[in-house]
Structure 1
Amino acid sequence: MPFSSAPPLPSRIRWRRGRVTETGRRGRDSVQLTVDVPDEGRLPALAYPSLVGIPQVGDEVLLNTTALAQGLGTGGVALVVAVPDRLPPDPEGPGHLVKARYTPLQVTVSGVDEQGTEHHGLMTEADDLGGMPVVVADLHSALPAILIGMLATDPDLKVAYVMTDGGALPAAFSRTLDALSKSFVGVITVGQAFGGDLEAVTVHTGLLAARHVLGADLAIVTQGPGNLGTGTPWGFSGVAAGEACNAVTVLGGAAIGALRISDADERTRHRGVSHHSLTAFGRVALGGVTLVAPRGLTSELGGQVDQDLAGQPARNPVVWVDTDGLDDALVLSPVPLRTMGRGYPEERAYFLAAAAAGRFAALQVPVPEAS
């Protein structure tokens, strides 16, 4: 049967046209909008200027409303696909790495590891992290707490963030990065994620760029906002945290696991130490990872954490870290601390565990010798 005469397939995207009625908050590469859509009213929308230009009030825009219709917490907005009557200029300069590959929205970026670019020579020779501590976490919500733990321990440390592609692909979607960008020496987006200060093809080259291009003392690896989980043993995007630990190990870094701990989550699989942490670190991270448990938990939760970690393989040492002063630092967080709809102190154990991992990593950085 000729392709042209085949029956139409149902779309997997909800397409809408609308007109911008308001513009709102601007991020480093995002702008919030209100868009009037016929028969559906005014919808919250988000545009990425580097992809579609800057929509103005009165512009007609093409929207993808799939996530909004599903009522998703993270990502539950309409996304601007195009401003048809005012297209942005063509990209200029180098860049042949294609991300969001072979989708209608694929983009080209200049990679830190691609040929003909400023850092290609350095990246060709880079092969070792030199023992750099790297904290790996399951959820994006752990990022600010890990950073707080690091900088509360030593405010002069240079910290890089390596954002993987298990959640949101555009770094610009993260309000956390908007607020914390000045606290990082740089953000590196790897895999299909894009929009960082540097782009890299893999977690491996992202880590090497953190060390050798940005000169980081420490790195944090976690996915962008929007974890995907199915309630099955292996069907969650955080499995990639274990693979990230393997990348750290093979490159000569020190992998440190930020445990997902909770006594507020109603789901049994996430109480105490989440099965996400136990699976990713205990079964996927075959090179070993230091697991950091925070002191200062309630006696009941502390006992459960101790019991949950008792079955870890010998390659995963468990370290209990003092948390004096970390609660005060978390209270002063420059961004709201929230995970799974719950904030601090409701999820104190979760954020305290992340901050403790950051503190432990900071203490592993060698102190420079006095000249």
Structure 2
Amino acid sequence: MVRWRTGTVTRHRNTWTGAVELDIELDRRAPDDPEHVKALAYTELVGTPLPGDRVVLNTNALKAGLGTGGYAHVIAIPDRLPEDTDPVGHIVKARYTPLQTMLLAADEEASPHRDTLATADDIGGMPVVAADLHSALPAILAGVHATRPDARVAYVMTDGGALPAAFSRTLDALRPHLAGTVTTGQAFGGDLESTNIHTGLLAARHALGADITITTQGPGNLGTGTTWGFSGTSTGEAVNATTVLGGRPVGALRVTDADKRDRHQGISHHNLTAYGRVALVPADLVLPAELDPALREVIDGQLPALTRHRVVTVDVTGLDEALRALPVKLSTMGRGLDADHAYFLTSAAAGRHAARLLPRA
């Protein structure tokens, strides 16, 4: 059941592409309701709430205290509905929910990319870097551009985490450094839309002209602490799709010695399942040449679960500086660059390896 609330917008806190962050004075219905809440409105879905507007809210994530998605979400501005707009496409995302939206797929008839994508059947050896968490995206991009500044990099966002691309302030800040974003499956709001990971990769290559593509979930990650109960199985599926389409899969390993949970120490158990059991074809799994010896010992004990793949060791000269120069603040599970350096360095090393797979300029 949706935890419904109403309130009044008091101010705009921040805005970025496709979203506005608001302060809301809440109409309190329960004794534990706060007087004010922070809320997010996706402007392409509900319009732009203004100070003084009454809004209808979903406060489930706020009540649950979710670290990634702990906002109230604006469902409607009931007294000032946005103007009608005619759908430009025929695919529906967030299907059969109250906020389903109709969008133009990159390969459907009305798309300017239709003729190209209707006959596209492979991605021509393009390196595709697959990662579990959205937080790896900027680090992988840093590794690519520290090695090949001229490389055109696209981002394919899968639907295991946040569905709206507009939720990601990281992605908004990285837009000038990307050839574009493709949102796949139920995810929406990219520069291009696709129905699945396969058409997403084809669109990245042939419509956005990418040399390299990075694919991760949107922000957030569903996990139950069990072997199979997590949304990052999509990492292994991306490896399979890349190979089917004639690309070169590169795995960005989720490596840490900072996470207090044993199942994520060394190589996360998410990767051990996704690469070890979901991925049915080999990928290049990348490790930095410089890792703490104790962490490397843990990893070496886990690598037999990944024998299908090629483990590649990459020098990391200059990558720390590239990570610190990014236009976004790095954070994973609440830990920044210095608190979880191995995680971000490993992601950057995967980007460097992908860049080195490109033909010489």
- Which of the five TM-score ranges fits, normalised by the shorter chain? over 0.9
Q: Matches of 1:66 and 1:228 in 2, distance apart?
A: 16
Task: Note the 1:46-195 alignment, pairs <5 A.
Answer: 46-92=40-86, 94-195=88-189
Q: 1:275 aligns with which of 234, 244, 269?
A: 269
Q: Which residue of 1 aligns with 2:327?
A: 334
Q: 2:223 aligns with which of 214, 221, 229?
A: 229
Residue 319 of structure 1 aligns with an amino acid whose one-letter code is V
Q: Matches of 1:13 and 1:245 in 2, distance apart?
A: 36
- Contact 1:15 1:63 survives alignment (8 Å): yes
2:309 pairs with 1:322: no
Q: Matches of 1:336 and 1:174 in 2, distance apart?
A: 12
Task: Note the 1:213-362 alignment, pairs <5 A.
Answer: 213-313=207-307, 315-362=308-355
Q: Which residue of 1 aligns with 2:24?
A: 35
TM-score (norm 2): 0.97
2:360 pairs with 1:367: yes
Q: Matches of 1:14 and 1:114 in 2, distance apart?
A: 37
Deviation at residue 88 of structure 1 after TM alignment: 1.1
Structure 1 stretches of 5 or more lacking a match? Answer: 1-11
Instruction: Describe the superposition over 1:183-233 as per-residue Cα deviations: whole angstroms up to 9, x where unpaired.
Output: 000000000000000001111011001111111000000000010111000
Structure 2 stretches of 5 or more lacking a match? Answer: none
- Contact 1:94 1:117 survives alignment (8 Å): no
Instruction: Describe the superposition over 1:47-77 as per-residue Cα deviations: whole angstroms up to 9, x where unpaired.
Output: 0111111100000001000100111111100
Residue 167 of structure 1 aligns with an amino acid whose one-letter code is G
Percent of aligned pairs with the same residue? 59
Q: Which residue of 2 aligns with 1:16?
A: 5
Q: Matches of 2:283 and 2:319 in 1, distance apart?
A: 23
Q: Give the 3-state SS of the residue equivalent to 1:180 in structure 2.
A: helix
- Contact 2:89 2:110 survives alignment (8 Å): no
Deviation at residue 93 of structure 1 after TM alignment: 5.4
Q: Give the 3-state SS of the residue equivalent to 2:306 in structure 1.
A: coil
Residue 129 of structure 1 aligns with an amino acid whose one-letter code is I
- Contact 1:113 1:201 survives alignment (8 Å): no
Residue 312 of structure 2 aligns with an amino acid whose one-letter code is V
Q: Matches of 2:277 and 2:250 in 1, distance apart?
A: 15
TM-score (norm 1): 0.94
- Contact 2:23 2:37 survives alignment (8 Å): yes
Q: Give the 3-state SS of the residue equivalent to 1:305 in structure 2.
A: helix
Deviation at residue 114 of structure 1 after TM alignment: 1.4
Q: Matches of 2:319 and 2:161 in 1, distance apart?
A: 28
Q: Which deviates more from structure 2 when the two are superposed, residues 225-234 or residues 108-117?
A: 108-117
Q: Give the 3-state SS of the residue equivalent to 1:47 in structure 2.
A: strand
Q: Matches of 2:217 and 2:110 in 1, distance apart?
A: 28
The size of the alignment, in residue pairs, is 356
Deviation at residue 364 of structure 1 after TM alignment: 0.2
Instruction: Describe the superposition over 1:138-180 as per-residue Cα deviations: whole angstroms up to 9, x where unpaired.
Output: 0000000000000010111000000000000000000101110
- Contact 2:87 2:102 survives alignment (8 Å): no
What do you get for the CA RMSD once the two structures are aligned? Answer: 1.0
Q: Matches of 1:182 and 1:288 in 2, distance apart?
A: 32
